[in-house]
Amino acid sequence: MDLSALTIFRAVVRENGVTRAAAKLNRVQSNVTTRIRQLEETLGVDLFIRDGRRLVLTPAGETLLPYAERLLALADEARHALVEDHPQGRLRLGTMESTAASRLPRLLAIYHQRWPQVTLELATGVTRTLFDGVRSFEFDAALIARPIEPDALHAGLFESVPVFTEELVLCTPRGQAPVTTAHDVAGLTLIAFEAGCAYRSYAMRWYEQQGIRPTRVLELSSYHAIVACVAAGAGVAVAPRSVLELAGLDGEVDLHPLGELSRVDTLLVWRKGHFSAALNALRDLLLDGAQPPRQLHSPR
């Protein structure tokens, strides 16, 4: 097995087919198909089942995938180790949408100015998706909300450092009576990101601590859409105050504190031992406070 073949195999899996994998890798489709066939011949097993125009992983393909991820990650680590004193190459960073909007623009501009030799690839998603991406080596690191489950970050597999602290607030339609407990919004729809969003988990914990659950959950994929629905009276939501203020959305709804669940750390997380000069430079930039922290509001 050569690394090039494993790279193509991984791309076909990630892109759900040869066409998109070829575009991602800047190769012609026939070359990708040929390299997959050669890899199968080398291993003596079929890696995909051809179902019409779709490719579905066989059990052998499922077995190979995590090994391919680990081998490619180890190769990246070896390359980084040879130039450890000078950040360069590729850095794949996953981040929550809220962090990308409110915390990263200025920081990434500084990073690019300092280390133009680094190609930074940024992808957004909910915390669970990002965490799984770090686990599978899809991301070199990710910025995620501290998981509400205390054992989620297995010390033997991951390393992390807190870099920001967000203040979560409950958003309600304008003119809503003051909210002090979840019972004050009982019966209202909770508007949130998809399951796997850490902030949604904190909202659910807020309800559960008081012995109730939201009547229903409406899933949306952006804070603008979420706040618009809250403002229109469709329900309530939980969001970071920093995002609402940055986008000017805090004036469209009323904001209420969540008590002890208000403060949530944003962590930079990476696989233990999977480090590089490029990631080290990003971590140092975060810890040095290249982006001045916003002043958190005291609960009213």
Q: What is the mean pLDDT of the chain?
A: 87
pLDDT above 90: residue 116: yes
Q: What is the CATH number of domain 166-263?
A: 3.40.190.10
* Per-residue pLDDT tens over the stretch 43-74: 889 998 877 777 889 999 889 998 888 888 88
Residue 153 buriedness (CB in 10 A; 0-12 / 13-18 / 19+): middle
pLDDT of the residue at 108: 92
* Per-residue pLDDT tens over the stretch 200-257: 999 999 999 999 999 899 999 899 999 999 999 999 999 999 988 887 877 889 999 8
pLDDT above 70: residue 84: no
On whether the CB atoms of residues 298 and 169 are closer than 8 A, the answer is: no
pLDDT above 60: residue 300: no
In our burial notation (b when 16+ CB lie closer than 10 A, e otherwise), range 157-185 reads ebbbeebbbbbbbbbbbeebeebeebebb
* Per-residue pLDDT tens over the stretch 266-292: 999 998 877 788 999 999 999 886 444
pLDDT above 70: residue 158: yes
Read off the pLDDT band of 83 (50, 70, 90): low
Of 81, 51, 39, 46, give the one whose Cα is nearest residue 62. 46
Q: Do domains 81-164+265-287 and 166-263 have the same CATH topology?
A: yes
Whole-angstrom distance, CA of residue 170 vs CA of residue 189: 13
Domain 81-164+265-287 has CATH 3.40.190.10: yes
Rg (CA), the chain: 22
pLDDT of the residue at 74: 81
- Pairing between strand 141-145 and 263-271? antiparallel
pLDDT above 70: residue 179: yes
On whether the CB atoms of residues 142 and 269 are closer than 8 A, the answer is: yes
On whether the CB atoms of residues 32 and 18 are closer than 8 A, the answer is: yes
The domains of the chain are located at 3-72, 81-164+265-287, 166-263
Secondary element (H or E) of residue 217: strand 217-219
For domain 3-72, which CATH number applies: 2.60.40.420, 1.10.10.10, 3.30.300.20, 1.10.1660.10?
A: 1.10.10.10
